[in-house]
């Protein structure tokens, strides 16, 4: 399973999609599992024009497998 993020409205253009988490999950036929990931806000940071590591408020797209969810980060 892979978890990606995309910053939709950054002041600069960071990576379009960044891998944030991954895990191998083995399933038998018909088996289901719940997987939990924690993604701290600071991991949505990027280096800005002033060479500072920042997280800007705005919308982010989180992709988990084929599922996509938009979230709003307020700082």
Predicted pLDDT at 72:
67
Predicted pLDDT at 74:
64
**pLDDT band, very low/low/confident/very high, at 70 (cuts 50, 70, 90):** low
Average pLDDT over residues 11-26: 83
Of 55, 44, 56, which is closest to residue 19 (Cα–Cα)?
44
Confidence (pTM)? 0.72
Average pLDDT over residues 41-60: 87
In the chain the domains, ranked by start, together with CATH numbers, are 2-73 (2.60.40.10)
Predicted pLDDT at 73:
65
Predicted pLDDT at 28:
92
């Amino acid at each position: 399973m892979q978890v990606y993020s995309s910053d939709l409205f950054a002041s600069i253009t960071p990576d379009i999609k960044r891998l944030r988490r991954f895990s191998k999950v083995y399933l038998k036929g018909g088996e289901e599992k719940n997987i939990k990931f924690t993604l701290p806000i600071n991991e949505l940071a990027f280096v800005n024009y002033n060479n500072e590591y920042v997280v800007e408020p705005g919308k982010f797209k989180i992709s988990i497998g084929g599922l996509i969810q938009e979230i709003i980060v307020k700082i």
